[in-house]
Chains A and B, each alone.
Chain A
Amino acid sequence: GQQVMQIPQYQHVQEGEDFTTYCNSSTTLSNIQWYKQRPGGHPVFLIQLVKSGEVKKQKRLTFQFGEAKKNSSLHITATQTTDVGTYFCAGPNTDKLIFGTGTRLQVFP
Protein backbone atom coordinates (compact mmCIF):
# COMPACT_ATOMS: atom_id res chain seq x y z
CA GLY A 1 0.00 0.00 0.00
CA GLN A 2 0.87 3.66 -0.17
CA GLN A 3 3.64 4.66 2.23
CA VAL A 4 4.91 8.08 3.26
CA MET A 5 8.29 8.29 4.93
CA GLN A 6 9.99 11.24 6.57
CA ILE A 7 13.59 11.88 7.50
CA PRO A 8 15.08 12.55 9.89
CA GLN A 9 13.05 10.93 12.65
CA TYR A 10 14.48 13.34 15.24
CA GLN A 11 16.35 16.62 15.00
CA HIS A 12 17.87 18.61 17.83
CA VAL A 13 19.01 22.14 16.96
CA GLN A 14 20.27 25.19 18.75
CA GLU A 15 17.91 28.13 18.64
CA GLY A 16 18.70 30.18 15.55
CA GLU A 17 19.84 27.22 13.47
CA ASP A 18 17.94 26.09 10.40
CA PHE A 19 15.92 22.86 10.18
CA THR A 20 14.71 20.76 7.27
CA THR A 21 12.49 17.68 7.14
CA TYR A 22 12.01 15.60 4.01
CA CYS A 23 8.94 13.65 2.99
CA ASN A 24 8.84 10.87 0.40
CA SER A 25 5.79 9.05 -0.92
CA SER A 26 5.77 5.66 -2.62
CA THR A 27 3.13 6.97 -5.04
CA THR A 28 2.43 10.20 -6.90
CA LEU A 29 0.29 12.56 -4.85
CA SER A 30 -2.46 14.93 -5.96
CA ASN A 31 -1.41 17.22 -3.12
CA ILE A 32 0.70 17.21 0.03
CA GLN A 33 -0.34 18.60 3.37
CA TRP A 34 1.80 19.50 6.38
CA TYR A 35 0.72 19.37 10.00
CA LYS A 36 2.42 20.38 13.24
CA GLN A 37 1.79 18.65 16.55
CA ARG A 38 3.05 20.32 19.69
CA PRO A 39 4.02 18.09 22.63
CA GLY A 40 0.79 16.94 24.29
CA GLY A 41 -1.29 18.53 21.55
CA HIS A 42 -3.08 17.49 18.42
CA PRO A 43 -2.06 17.85 14.75
CA VAL A 44 -2.75 21.29 13.34
CA PHE A 45 -2.90 21.96 9.63
CA LEU A 46 -0.12 24.20 8.31
CA ILE A 47 -0.38 24.21 4.53
CA GLN A 48 -1.35 22.33 1.38
CA LEU A 49 0.69 22.19 -1.83
CA VAL A 50 -0.94 21.13 -5.07
CA LYS A 51 1.20 22.01 -8.07
CA SER A 52 4.36 20.27 -9.23
CA GLY A 53 7.40 22.24 -8.05
CA GLU A 54 5.27 24.55 -5.91
CA VAL A 55 6.99 26.59 -3.19
CA LYS A 56 5.06 28.35 -0.44
CA LYS A 57 6.30 30.42 2.49
CA GLN A 58 4.81 31.14 5.87
CA LYS A 59 7.13 33.58 7.67
CA ARG A 60 10.19 31.46 8.53
CA LEU A 61 8.72 28.25 7.08
CA THR A 62 9.28 27.28 3.44
CA PHE A 63 7.39 24.36 1.92
CA GLN A 64 8.26 22.72 -1.37
CA PHE A 65 6.49 20.10 -3.49
CA GLY A 66 8.70 18.04 -5.79
CA GLU A 67 8.49 18.11 -9.56
CA ALA A 68 7.35 14.48 -9.64
CA LYS A 69 4.82 15.13 -6.86
CA LYS A 70 6.26 12.29 -4.79
CA ASN A 71 8.33 14.29 -2.34
CA SER A 72 8.16 17.42 -0.29
CA SER A 73 10.22 19.37 2.21
CA LEU A 74 9.70 21.80 5.04
CA HIS A 75 12.50 24.20 5.90
CA ILE A 76 12.51 26.42 8.97
CA THR A 77 14.94 29.34 9.00
CA ALA A 78 16.39 30.50 12.31
CA THR A 79 14.43 28.15 14.57
CA GLN A 80 12.79 29.39 17.74
CA THR A 81 11.70 27.48 20.84
CA THR A 82 8.09 27.88 19.65
CA ASP A 83 8.94 25.64 16.67
CA VAL A 84 9.26 22.60 18.96
CA GLY A 85 6.98 19.74 17.98
CA THR A 86 6.50 16.96 15.48
CA TYR A 87 5.99 17.82 11.83
CA PHE A 88 3.95 15.43 9.71
CA CYS A 89 3.45 15.45 5.97
CA ALA A 90 0.34 13.73 4.66
CA GLY A 91 -0.88 12.67 1.25
CA PRO A 92 -4.47 11.95 0.25
CA ASN A 93 -5.73 8.48 -0.66
CA THR A 94 -9.41 8.69 -1.72
CA ASP A 95 -11.16 10.20 1.31
CA LYS A 96 -8.40 9.67 3.85
CA LEU A 97 -4.88 10.91 4.52
CA ILE A 98 -1.74 8.81 4.69
CA PHE A 99 0.44 10.44 7.32
CA GLY A 100 4.20 10.43 7.13
CA THR A 101 6.26 8.99 9.93
CA GLY A 102 6.94 12.46 11.33
CA THR A 103 10.02 14.45 12.31
CA ARG A 104 10.32 15.48 15.92
CA LEU A 105 12.07 18.82 16.36
CA GLN A 106 13.68 19.89 19.61
CA VAL A 107 15.10 23.39 19.90
CA PHE A 108 17.57 24.26 22.63
CA PRO A 109 17.70 27.90 23.77
Chain B
Amino acid sequence: DAMVIQNPRYQVTQFGKPVTLSCSQTLNHNVMYWYQQKSSQAPKLLFHYYDKDFNNEADTPDNFQSRRPNTSFCFLDIRSPGLGDAAMYLCATSRGPGTGEETQYFGPGTRLLVL
Protein backbone atom coordinates (compact mmCIF):
# COMPACT_ATOMS: atom_id res chain seq x y z
CA ASP B 1 0.00 0.00 0.00
CA ALA B 2 1.20 3.50 -0.82
CA MET B 3 2.02 5.31 2.37
CA VAL B 4 4.05 7.75 4.42
CA ILE B 5 6.52 6.14 6.81
CA GLN B 6 8.32 7.78 9.69
CA ASN B 7 11.24 6.42 11.66
CA PRO B 8 11.73 6.08 14.47
CA ARG B 9 8.28 6.22 16.08
CA TYR B 10 9.81 7.25 19.39
CA GLN B 11 13.10 9.07 19.88
CA VAL B 12 14.78 9.94 23.13
CA THR B 13 17.70 12.35 23.02
CA GLN B 14 19.72 14.38 25.44
CA PHE B 15 19.62 18.12 25.75
CA GLY B 16 21.90 19.53 23.04
CA LYS B 17 22.54 16.22 21.29
CA PRO B 18 21.75 16.36 17.56
CA VAL B 19 18.96 14.15 16.33
CA THR B 20 17.64 13.23 12.88
CA LEU B 21 14.11 12.12 12.10
CA SER B 22 13.30 10.47 8.80
CA CYS B 23 10.30 10.30 6.53
CA SER B 24 9.76 8.30 3.37
CA GLN B 25 6.84 8.08 0.97
CA THR B 26 5.73 5.68 -1.73
CA LEU B 27 3.06 8.05 -3.06
CA ASN B 28 5.44 9.85 -5.45
CA HIS B 29 4.09 13.17 -4.22
CA ASN B 30 5.78 16.44 -5.11
CA VAL B 31 5.48 18.11 -1.74
CA MET B 32 6.76 16.93 1.63
CA TYR B 33 6.03 18.78 4.86
CA TRP B 34 7.36 18.70 8.41
CA TYR B 35 5.08 19.70 11.26
CA GLN B 36 5.63 20.03 14.98
CA GLN B 37 2.66 19.21 17.17
CA LYS B 38 2.51 19.75 20.91
CA SER B 39 -0.20 18.44 23.17
CA SER B 40 -3.70 19.77 22.47
CA GLN B 41 -2.45 22.03 19.69
CA ALA B 42 -2.81 22.09 15.93
CA PRO B 43 0.12 20.92 13.82
CA LYS B 44 2.59 23.76 13.28
CA LEU B 45 4.31 23.81 9.89
CA LEU B 46 8.10 24.03 10.17
CA PHE B 47 9.02 23.85 6.48
CA HIS B 48 8.23 22.03 3.27
CA TYR B 49 9.80 21.00 0.00
CA TYR B 50 8.09 21.40 -3.35
CA ASP B 51 10.25 19.01 -5.33
CA LYS B 52 13.73 20.34 -4.52
CA ASP B 53 12.61 23.83 -3.56
CA PHE B 54 12.89 24.38 0.18
CA ASN B 55 10.38 26.66 1.89
CA ASN B 56 11.05 27.66 5.47
CA GLU B 57 8.38 29.15 7.72
CA ALA B 58 9.39 32.56 9.06
CA ASP B 59 9.09 31.50 12.69
CA THR B 60 10.94 28.18 12.42
CA PRO B 61 14.04 28.31 14.64
CA ASP B 62 17.46 27.93 12.98
CA ASN B 63 17.93 24.88 15.19
CA PHE B 64 15.68 23.00 12.76
CA GLN B 65 17.03 21.99 9.36
CA SER B 66 15.77 19.70 6.62
CA ARG B 67 17.11 17.69 3.71
CA ARG B 68 15.37 16.05 0.80
CA PRO B 69 17.94 13.97 -1.07
CA ASN B 70 15.33 12.52 -3.46
CA THR B 71 11.57 12.42 -4.09
CA SER B 72 10.96 9.64 -1.60
CA PHE B 73 12.91 10.77 1.45
CA CYS B 74 12.94 13.82 3.68
CA PHE B 75 14.85 14.36 6.92
CA LEU B 76 14.39 16.68 9.87
CA ASP B 77 17.58 17.59 11.72
CA ILE B 78 17.45 19.20 15.13
CA ARG B 79 20.96 20.49 15.75
CA SER B 80 20.76 21.19 19.47
CA PRO B 81 17.48 19.97 20.96
CA GLY B 82 16.14 21.89 23.90
CA LEU B 83 13.48 20.81 26.38
CA GLY B 84 10.96 22.90 24.46
CA ASP B 85 11.51 20.80 21.34
CA ALA B 86 9.87 17.77 22.89
CA ALA B 87 6.84 17.15 20.70
CA MET B 88 5.31 14.94 18.04
CA TYR B 89 6.90 15.52 14.64
CA LEU B 90 4.63 14.77 11.71
CA CYS B 91 5.64 14.31 8.12
CA ALA B 92 3.05 14.79 5.40
CA THR B 93 2.93 14.69 1.61
CA SER B 94 0.69 16.05 -1.11
CA ARG B 95 0.66 16.27 -4.89
CA GLY B 96 0.69 20.05 -4.62
CA PRO B 97 -1.45 22.98 -5.79
CA GLY B 98 -2.95 22.93 -9.26
CA THR B 99 -2.99 19.15 -9.35
CA GLY B 100 -6.61 18.87 -8.30
CA GLU B 101 -5.56 17.05 -5.17
CA GLU B 102 -4.25 19.18 -2.32
CA THR B 103 -5.03 16.61 0.36
CA GLN B 104 -2.20 15.97 2.76
CA TYR B 105 -1.28 12.43 3.78
CA PHE B 106 0.34 12.17 7.17
CA GLY B 107 2.79 9.66 8.53
CA PRO B 108 2.30 8.18 12.01
CA GLY B 109 4.69 10.70 13.55
CA THR B 110 7.83 10.54 15.67
CA ARG B 111 7.45 11.42 19.32
CA LEU B 112 10.59 13.16 20.53
CA LEU B 113 11.56 13.24 24.18
CA VAL B 114 14.43 15.47 25.32
CA LEU B 115 16.11 14.64 28.61
Q: How many residues of B contact A (CB 8 A)?
A: 23
Q: B-facing mask of A79-109, CB < 8 A → 1, else 0? A: 0000000001010101111011110100000
Q: Given the complex, which residues of A lie within 8 Å of B96, measured CB to CB?
A: 95
Which of A13-21, A37-45, A51-59, A63-71 lies at the interface with chain B?
Answer: A37-45
Q: Given the complex, which residues of B lie within 8 Å of A48, measured CB to CB?
A: 102-103
Give A100 Cβ to nearest chain B Cβ, in Å. Answer: 7
Q: How many residues of A contact B (CB 8 A)?
A: 21
A33 to B97, CA, bound (A): 14
Give B7 Cβ to nearest chain A Cβ, in Å. Answer: 14
The one of B97, B108, B109 that contacts A94, using a Cβ cutoff of 8 Å: B97
Which of B11-19, B43-51, B63-71, B79-87 lies at the interface with chain A?
Answer: B43-51
